[in-house]
């Protein structure tokens, strides 16, 4: 299914209205459109997700990359608006709700009425770790994280307590039991 990308300027924001699914097949289209706009000098974005039915990790990666390009230090702004409950659940479960300014609808995003739980800007460590996990870290020389590291880092981002270390004896017994 194709992704439709509407593009207009409202006030001093570039509003990108997405329609369809933001997934592995379509995220490259959105990434290209966003890249072209940032290269043209746009720094203030609102991404209207009200007509998005699904967001995959590839879609999250593209949104995170756009957020990095429009960080507060460069005078940029990125706000997301109009998420359905299904899409919002993806953001909440992945911990990405903490990384973005999220408004209930386009009007609220234009006014700057973002979710109260959303921090004004994510910490550099959280942003860097999330970007690395999704492959948007921008470092070609850095190897991909191992699956155990991904799980540990994702748990840290979501505030889960670290798993207790197993003793040597319990690991040996687990090995015998096939665990």
**What's the CATH code of the domain at 131?**
3.30.750.24
Q: How far apart are CA 43 and CA 66, in angstroms?
A: 10
Note down the domain range covering 110: 4-144
- Whether 93 is in a domain gets the answer yes
Q: How far apart are CA 173 and CA 149, in angstroms?
A: 23
- Whether 153 is in a domain gets the answer no
pLDDT score recorded for residue 121? 44
pLDDT tens string 2-44: 899 999 999 899 999 999 999 999 999 999 999 999 999 999 9
Mean pLDDT on 50-75: 88
pLDDT score recorded for residue 78? 93
- Whether 164 is in a domain gets the answer no
- Whether 90 is in a domain gets the answer yes
**To the nearest 5 percent, what fractions of the chain are helix, strand and coil?**
45, 20, 35
Q: Is the pTM of this model over 0.85?
A: no
Read off the pLDDT band of 167 (50, 70, 90): confident
Structural domains of the chain, count? 1
Residue 116 has pLDDT above 50, yes or no: no
Q: Mind spelling out the 3-state secondary structure of 37-105?
A: HHHCCCCEEEEEEEEEEEECHHHHHHHHHHHHHCCHHHCCEEEEECCCHHHHHHHHHHCHHHCCEEECC
Residue 131 has pLDDT above 90, yes or no: no
- Do residues 5 and 29 make contact, with C-beta atoms less than 8 angstroms apart? yes
- Whether 23 is in a domain gets the answer yes
Residue 64 has pLDDT above 50, yes or no: yes
CA 96 to chain centre: 5
- Whether 29 is in a domain gets the answer yes
- Whether 125 is in a domain gets the answer yes
pLDDT score recorded for residue 164? 67
- Whether 156 is in a domain gets the answer no
């Amino acid at each position: 299914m194709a992704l439709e990308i509407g593009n207009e300027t409202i006030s001093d924001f570039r509003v990108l209205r997405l329609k369809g699914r933001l997934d592995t097949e379509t995220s490259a289209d959105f990434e290209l459109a966003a890249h072209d706009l940032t290269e043209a000098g746009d720094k203030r974005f609102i991404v209207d997700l009200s007509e998005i039915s699904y967001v995959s990790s590839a879609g999250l990666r593209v949104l995170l990359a756009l957020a990095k390009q429009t960080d507060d230090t460069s005078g940029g702004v990125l706000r997301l608006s109009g998420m359905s409950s299904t899409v919002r659940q993806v953001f909440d479960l992945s911990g990405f709700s903490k990384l973005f300014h999220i408004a209930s609808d386009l009007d609220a995003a234009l006014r700057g009425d973002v979710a109260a739980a959303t921090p004004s800007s994510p910490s550099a460590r959280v942003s860097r770790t999330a970007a690395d996990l999704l492959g948007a870290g921008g470092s070609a020389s850095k190897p991909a994280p191992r699956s155990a590291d991904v799980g540990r880092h994702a748990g840290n981002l979501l505030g889960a307590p670290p798993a207790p270390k197993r003793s040597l004896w319990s690991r040996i017994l687990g090995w015998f039991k096939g665990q």
